[in-house]
Each structure stands twice: as C-alpha cells, then as structure tokens.
Structure 1
Amino acid sequence: MDQPTVGILHPGSMGAAVATCAATNATAVLWCESGRSTASVERAARFGLTPVATLAELLDRSDIVISLCPPAAAEDLARDVAGHRFAGVYVEANAINPERAKRIAALLDGAPVVDGGVVGSPPIGGKTPTLYLSGPAVACERIEALFAGTAVRTAVLGTEVGKASALKLSYASFQKTSRVLVALAVGMAREHGVDQELIEIASRRTDSYLSEPQYVAKAAARAWRWGPELEEAADTLAAAGLPPEMLRAAASTLARWNDVKDDSELTLTDALDRLAQP
C-alpha cells in the first residue's frame, strides 16, 4: 500500500508529537494554520509538519485525518470536516465519551471513523504511549500500519466505535482524579503542618501518587484540559447508572487552576495556594 498523506487537527503538545510519529510511514503530515496561535505555528514547525492554508485543502490532500483537540471542540471540528464531504479515514482520538464518539461517526457518514484513545505521555524523550483503536477493521489496520515501528504503540479493541473512548476515560477517571486527591490530601496536611509526615507515610507504599506531590503543579497547569475530560467521564458514568459526583467534583476542583494554563514555572506551593484561595 502506498504511503498515505495525513492531516492533523490540531498540533497541540500531544497532536504534534503523534503526528511526527505518523510521518515515519506517511508521504507528508499536513496541518491547517488558519486561525491557529503563534505557539501552534512554532510547534508545528519544530515537529516538521507541513502547513496548508485552509481546512478544505488539508482534507482534499489527506487520506487519513487525526483529530486531537480539546474535548469540547471535537464535535464542531468533526462537523466542519463532514461539511467538506471528507471520505478518507477519520481518527477521532479525543478524550470524549463513547456516545459523542458515536455521534461523530454518524456525522461523518461516508467516511470510515476510527475511535481512538491515547493513554500515556506524548511520544517524545523515550515515552511510548498506546493509541487504542476501535472501529471498522480495515480502517483500524491502516492506522496500525501508519504507526508501525514508531514510539506510538497501537492496540485494536474491536469494531465497535466507543470502545477506545470508554477505555481512555475509564483510565483517565482513576489516573486524573487520583492526582486531584493528592492535591487535596497534601493541602489538608500542610494546613496542619504534617505534610512532610504524610509524604513519608505514602513513600512507604509502592506506586502511590501521594509520594509524588511535585506532580500537583503539573496537574494545575493541565487543569484546563483535565477538567473537561473528567466531565466527559462523568457523563459516561451517569449513562451507566453509576454516580458521577466524584468526577464532577474533581472537575470543579481543577477549575480553580484554569488561570495557570500550561504554566511550566508553577510550583507545588503556588498550586496549593491557588487551590485554597482561588
């Protein structure tokens, strides 16, 4: 099979890194620079992506399009793509709930839609995330081939759209909520002057997030993305008749950090202060 041309919507920190891996087995990886920020332009250039002027041009030239954007924008983006009658493989790789993934598949009637979920950190610096896939078998095979031999591992979960999204949000529900609980636990202990003792207790246990309080600052900087993802997971719980309140509460907690979006200089003390006094 000839190497495909791939379009990425849009090259954020995860999207750009995933797109670079796709470039290994692609003729070119395109991105649409219209309306994007200076940071996006610089990131795309750094990762060697090919700019095009319009979404129409990207879709016209691409055999495969990968959507990796904030969850709230996923359906509007898919609707724009559907409006251009795109007929290639559309990889819906956002952290959205299974019902939304199915709605997007319905929107793109005529194009095979692969439901995708990335578990792990962006594939740079030795990191090897897994892209879980579900959807039409032939389309999933094309995505497996696209990432063969790269830092992005792939795993096919079946032919049902929604499975990959469900797995992603099931994992995110635990992983991201656990980070929020660390912030609350360390913040409470600090208020009473026993935070170091708490960390010492936690360090005696293996694989405890409580032994990594320094990660709270990273969680705070990513809160603008994590909160909407947990809202998606809460919707998934509610649809299954399970209580969503814990995840909605975690999302509410994360919202207290929305004004420190992507702040790489944030410290643990700053993050806890903002949590206590928004």
Structure 2
Amino acid sequence: MTVVGVLHPGSMGAAVARQVQRSGADVLWCPTGRSLATKERALRCGLTSVRDLRELTDAADVILSICPPAYAEDVAAEVATHMFTGIYVDANAVSPATMARIDATAARGGVTVVDGSIIGSPPSASKSPRLYLSGPEDSLAAVASLFTGSAVHPHVLPGGVGRASALKLSYSSYQKTSRVLAAVSYALAREYEVDEALLDIAQGRTTSYLAETDYIPQVAARSWRWGPEMEEAAATLREAGLPAELAEASAAVMSRWENLRDSSLGIPEVLEHLHEARESQPD
C-alpha cells in the first residue's frame, strides 16, 4: 500500500487527500500545531493522525504540500531536515523561481520534487479540479496514479520543475485579478447608481476573455486610445474614494503597446511588446 502524507489539510488539502484514498493509499497527516477546525476536517476525511512530522516523513512514500503560498518554502525546508527520501509534491501557488528554490532545498536532503498546481475548486461529487504536474519523468506517473478514478484529474506537463507553477500563476493572474476588477467596477457603478445597468450589460457577455486570444492584437492596436480611457477610469475611481491601482495598471500595460496604433501584428509579436527591454547577454 502506498503511504501518502498531506501537509496541511485545509479545505483544498483535505479534499484532495480524500480523493487520494480512493486509489487505496493510506493518507497520513500531522496535527501538531494545527487548529481545531483543521483537526475536525481531517477527522471527517478519515485521515490517519501521526505523532509528529518525523513519523510522517519516515512512513510516507509521497508527501503532498498544499498550504498557503507564503509558507511553501518553510514547509519544504522543514521536511528536508527530516531526511525524507520519497517524492515531495509542492502543489502550492508559487512562482517558478520559488519552486526552483524549493527544489534546490529539497534536493540537498535527497528528496525528489514534483511541481504541482491545482486549477479549480476543492474536489467533490460535483467538482473536478485539474492537477498539473511537472518534474522528473519517472516520478510523474507515480503521483498521477494516486488519483486514478478520483475527482482530481492529473495532467503531466513536459519541461521539468517550474512548468506547473508557471501555468498556475498564468491562470490565476487573470482569474484572481478579474474577480477583483469586477468588484471595483461594481463599486464604482453603485456610487453612481448604475449598478443594475452594468449587470444587464455583463449578463449579455458570458464568454471568458481569456479564451478569446484572437482579440489580443486588437487590444494592442487600440491601446493608444484605450490607455488614456483607463487613466480617466482611474481618476473617476479616485474621486469616488475607490482603489484606482487596477485601472492604472491596465493603462501601464497599454502604454507598452502605444506605438502599435492600428497595427495588424499577430499574437506572438504583440505579446513580445509586453516584455521590458532586455539587455543583450555577452557572448
């Protein structure tokens, strides 16, 4: 039987751990320092409690780290001090650079690191998130097999550690920011008592802009006038006492396209213009 340790079973971690149990694995967790709510959650999910992290690292073949991103490096470093030699799956929303540091820290202790990212809500009878995995090829299949027949759908990415993390942040940079932007937009509309009209407009546009990649060059070609429009939006937000930073940031992005007025460039060329000027490297 494969033994899996989960660090630490929050709402996502506990739900993922429950899905791992479907593959027949024994799932361990360490209650030391965890809240009462976490303990109750682990109990509901049928996770096996161990005395301390040492006992967990000694017993586990695979460890899943699913915690707030601010703690990801510390958690990995603590596991490495216990000389864990199995597969360590960091499934946290961290940058590729952070993931590289986690990989380096773990490697010093003999740990095999798999980079993971969870896209979607906690798994349940009605929700099936994707788990993207990248890293050493011989370890990816072992991790993916833990979710056979479960509500978690594993997807293997080529290219090594860092790819899964990059995908997560590429998605969340849009998804999280767009949610916040929607809140700010409605706050401004309410200030002028036009929120119902804004909702009426929005309900007629159900397609995600993230899927409309063909529209990106058009945004670039129109940025010479859309940028100033966002600056006006920022000024209006400030006048209403609302956060203007998102609108200002949009204007700053569009300023990198201001010389593409009415251009007909393709997507790759347009996206390249978003990069800051990079200094050439010496030969």
TM superposition shift of 1:249: 7.4
Q: 1:155 to 1:87 in 2, by over 3 A?
A: same
Partners of 2:128 and 2:247 lie apart in 1 by: 27
Partners of 1:108 and 1:40 lie apart in 2 by: 26
Which of residues 16, 40, 43 in structure 2 aligns to 1:42? Answer: 40
Counterpart in the other structure of 1:63 = 61
Deviations 1:55-86 (A, max 9, x none): 00011110000000000100000000000010
- Residues 75 and 104 of structure 1 are in contact (CA less than 8 Å); yes or no, is this contact kept in structure 2? yes
Is 1:87 matched with 2:85? Answer: yes
Aligned residues: 213
Deviations 1:106-154 (A, max 9, x none): 1111211000000000001310000000000111100111111110001
- Residues 82 and 107 of structure 1 are in contact (CA less than 8 Å); yes or no, is this contact kept in structure 2? yes
Deviations 1:232-259 (A, max 9, x none): xxxxxxxxxxxxx859979xxxxxxxxx
Partners of 2:208 and 2:158 lie apart in 1 by: 32
Which of residues 14, 17, 24 in structure 1 aligns to 2:15? Answer: 17
Instruction: Look up the SS of the partner of 2:27 in the other structure.
Output: strand
Partners of 1:200 and 1:35 lie apart in 2 by: 48
- Residues 202 and 208 of structure 1 are in contact (CA less than 8 Å); yes or no, is this contact kept in structure 2? no
The two structures have a TM-score, normalised by structure 1, of 0.74
| Residues 182-201 of structure 1 mapped to structure 2, 5 A cutoff | 182-201=182-201
- Residues 66 and 90 of structure 2 are in contact (CA less than 8 Å); yes or no, is this contact kept in structure 1? yes
Deviations 1:145-176 (A, max 9, x none): 11111100011111410000000000000001
Instruction: Look up the SS of the partner of 1:206 in the other structure.
Output: coil
Structure 1 residue runs of 5 or longer lacking an equivalent are: 210-244, 251-278
Q: 1:249 to 1:20 in 2, by over 3 A?
A: farther
Q: 1:26 to 1:100 in 2, by over 3 A?
A: farther
Partners of 1:116 and 1:38 lie apart in 2 by: 27
Counterpart in the other structure of 2:51 = 53
Counterpart in the other structure of 1:6 = 4
Counterpart in the other structure of 1:154 = 154
Q: 1:175 to 1:93 in 2, by over 3 A?
A: same
Q: 1:246 to 1:166 in 2, by over 3 A?
A: farther
Partners of 1:20 and 1:6 lie apart in 2 by: 11
Q: 1:75 to 1:46 in 2, by over 3 A?
A: same
Rg larger in structure: 2
- Residues 125 and 151 of structure 2 are in contact (CA less than 8 Å); yes or no, is this contact kept in structure 1? no
Counterpart in the other structure of 1:219 = none
What one-letter code is carried by the residue in structure 2 that aligns with 1:198? L
Structure 2 residue runs of 5 or longer lacking an equivalent are: 210-244, 251-283
**Runs of 4+ displaced beyond 6 Å:** 247-250
Instruction: Look up the SS of the partner of 1:113 in the other structure.
Output: strand
- Percent identity reads 54
What one-letter code is carried by the residue in structure 2 that aligns with 1:196? E
CA RMSD of aligned residues (A): 1.9
- Residues 21 and 151 of structure 1 are in contact (CA less than 8 Å); yes or no, is this contact kept in structure 2? yes
Partners of 2:54 and 2:249 lie apart in 1 by: 40
Partners of 1:170 and 1:162 lie apart in 2 by: 12
